Amino acid sequence: MKKLIPVITVLLLLFTGCEGGKDKPLSGTVTVTSELFGTGPYYSFGFSFALAEKVTTLSNPAPDVSVEAAVIAGSSDFVPILSANTLKPSFGLKGEYASENEAIAAFNALTETGTTTWSDMGKPLKANQVWVIRTGDTKYAKIRTTAVGLELTGDGPVARCTFLWVYQPDGSTVFP
């Protein structure tokens, strides 16, 4: 019996402390769309950096970033934008580049958020942009857009964005 208690204690520590051995990645590539699902209320999928996965816009916690088709001031056409369900401006455009190679170089050179002018929406969204995103819990991510599209369907416009992302989970402004 005395030998059984330490064995059980060690096993409990192993099972409760490792979360199944699944560490969340701090970077990757994802495609997010504004396509609606469900029968009501409708929802789409955004992206959670902390979970490193797509989550629905009805999830709790909500996604850190979503893609929407919106009409922006001064225009009558729909354009793809980045949005966040936070009560503060969350998007900082660090640069827009003529080529993929320039965007890759700028993304790789971006090691901290630096001085950033924050806005409520990431607009207009285009390929070969580098953005810094401030999440609702004041953590930071950087993204490089690789493909952006807008499809006009019978159910309304659908925006699409593929981006490479790097997340800083400790709240500092320096990227890993």
In angstroms, the CA 66 to CA 44 distance is 8
Mean pLDDT in the chain? 87
Query: Could you tell me if 86 and 118 are in contact, meaning their C-beta atoms sit under 8 angstroms apart?
Result: no
Domain chopping of the chain, boundaries? 22-168
- Rounded mean pLDDT of 135-152? 95
CA distances from 28 to 72, 136, 140, 165, 167 (A): 29, 20, 15, 6, 9
- Rounded mean pLDDT of 27-38? 92
Residue 151 has pLDDT above 80, yes or no: yes
pLDDT digits (tens, 9 = 90+) for 46-103: 999 999 999 998 888 889 999 999 988 888 889 999 999 888 999 999 999 999 999 9
- Please return the burial class of 161, using the count of CB atoms within 10 Å of its CB with bins 0-12, 13-18 and 19+: buried
- Residue 38 vs residue 47, higher pLDDT: 47
Residue 9 has pLDDT above 50, yes or no: no
Q: Which residue has the tokens 């504004």?
A: 34
